[in-house]
Amino acid sequence: MKLPSSSATNLKKENMKHMISMKDFTTKEMDDMMELMALLKDARKDNAIPKLFENKSVGMIFEAGSTRTRVSFEVAATLLGGHGLFLSPRDIHLGAKESIDDTARVLSRMCDIVMARTNDPETVDALCKMSTVPVINGLDTRFHPTQMLADLFTIKEHITDGRKLSDLTLAFMGDATDVCRSLLLTCTKYGMNFKQIGPVKYQMEQEWLDLADEYCKETGASYEITDDVEKISECDVVYGDSFYWVTQLDEKEERLNAFMPDYVITEELMSKAKPGAMLLHCLPANDKEEVTREALEGEYSVAFDEAENRLTAQMAILVYFTHKYMETPSEEVKKMHADKVNDFLNKL
């Protein structure tokens, strides 16, 4: 089926790419995105962000709640001179009164890029299928790619002794979540060593370990999936995430029993990690469950720098995924249209 092109944005879609998982990107592409993050973060410090998303809009579909992803995309669009539209299921017909296909087609004709946080991965895949503008996965039950950019960037920012990402071992504490899965693939792709430390019942699916095996062969990375908390002594980065997601509330008690107290990130656990180890957490954090307040506030914690870097990442994402497709009109073309409209209005 030939997809309609967007008359509103006049995008050139030959090489259009969506962002569903970091596995779809080379390390060169990820490095490019992080270099763009660094440039835009520097510009933000000087309150001099170039208006690279001027007059553009990002449609932001949120089937699930969000603080960081929602605020960071909306603020990023504003800082870059554009606009973010918050679209909850209460605001649009997505999948209820209107098919996902038709929603994708309509949004493509009005927005320049679409970000979607969906409860069902099939929704984001369906959006990609029919969208004629880039679709960014703002977290589904499989992956959280925008979080990965912020995480890698934050780790790099806080390495002070000249080591590279590939010199580090990252331990994810807990369940095989979307973030855990994304970290497994991102770390091994970057030559970083990865550990998931959590109860056997909640460990990573074989499908993703098989893919990680391929990355390890290419990069020399390694991974270990273990229930042995003492393995924290081999780790430079400790990563926390909630022990249950909003769709798993019926499992909450069973999960908390399985994870607590052994897999909770405490000051004591951090003291057992490698000297200088840092603590990341994708947030939101529950400081009565997966991480203590003391650990979250420890001098080794970079969780709030990481949260701020969600904004840095979203600025880069909005620009990276749209700049190739944007046509900036010449001053002559702008004047010609303004003259035509003004001539018409003056006759009214």
- C-beta of residue 185 within 8 angstroms of C-beta of residue 211: yes
Longest Cα separation, the chain: 80
Pick the closer one to ligand CP by CB: 36 or 303. Answer: 303
Q: Which listed residue (5, 66, 222, 248) binds ligand CP by CB under 6 A?
A: 66
Active site includes 241?
yes
Which range in 10-18, 33-41, 65-73, 328-336 contacts ligand CP by CB under 6 A?
A: 65-73
- Minimum gap (Å) between residue 283 Cβ and ligand CP: 5
Active site includes 147?
yes
Residue 279 contacts ligand CP per CB under 6 A? no
- C-beta of residue 49 within 8 angstroms of C-beta of residue 315: yes
- Minimum gap (Å) between residue 77 Cβ and ligand CP: 15
Which range in 64-72, 180-188, 210-218, 248-256 contacts ligand CP by CB under 6 A?
A: 64-72
Rg (CA), the chain: 22
- CA dihedral (197, 245, 83, 31) in degrees, to 10, reads 10
Residue 271 contacts ligand CP per CB under 6 A? no
SS3 197: strand
Angle between helices 178-189 and 145-158 (to 10 degrees): 60
- Minimum gap (Å) between residue 281 Cβ and ligand CP: 9
Residue 282 contacts ligand CP per CB under 6 A? yes
Pick the closer one to ligand CP by CB: 68 or 255. Answer: 68
- C-beta of residue 141 within 8 angstroms of C-beta of residue 178: yes
Residues 6+ apart with CB under 8 A from 98: 92
Pick the closer one to ligand CP by CB: 192 or 285. Answer: 285
The one catalytic residue in 68, 147, 180, 216 is: 147
**Within a 10 A sphere around the Cβ of 46, how many other Cβ atoms?**
7
Residue 181 contacts ligand CP per CB under 6 A? no
Helix or strand holding residue 85 (H, E): strand 83-87
- Minimum gap (Å) between residue 138 Cβ and ligand CP: 7
**Partners of residue 237 on adjacent β-strands:** 170, 278
Pick the closer one to ligand CP by CB: 66 or 88. Answer: 66
Phi-psi region of 241 (alpha: psi -120 to 50; beta: other; left: phi over 0): beta
Which range in 66-74, 251-259, 266-274, 293-301 contacts ligand CP by CB under 6 A?
A: 66-74
Q: Which listed residue (131, 147, 177, 242) binds ligand CP by CB under 6 A?
A: 147
> What distance in Å separates the CA atoms of residue 77 and residue 318, rounded to the nearest whole number?
7
Residue 233 contacts ligand CP per CB under 6 A? no
Residue 68 contacts ligand CP per CB under 6 A? yes
Residues 6+ apart with CB under 8 A from 203: 176, 196, 225, 227
Q: Which listed residue (283, 285, 311, 319) binds ligand CP by CB under 6 A?
A: 283
The one catalytic residue in 68, 216, 241, 255 is: 241
- C-beta of residue 196 within 8 angstroms of C-beta of residue 172: yes
Active site includes 117?
yes
Q: Please, how many CA atoms are within 13 Å of residue 41, restricted to the half-sphere of its CB? A: 19
Residue 136 contacts ligand CP per CB under 6 A? no
Q: Which listed residue (6, 9, 69, 132) binds ligand CP by CB under 6 A?
A: 69
Residue 123 contacts ligand CP per CB under 6 A? no
Residue with tokens 């060593």: 193
Active site includes 227?
no
How many residues touch ligand CP under the rule CB under 6 A: the total is: 9
Q: Return the DSSP state at 325.
A: G
Residue 79 contacts ligand CP per CB under 6 A? no
Residue 248 contacts ligand CP per CB under 6 A? no
Write out the catalytic residue numbers: 117, 144, 147, 241, 282, 310
Residues that bind ligand CP (CB under 6 A): 66-69, 139, 147, 282-284
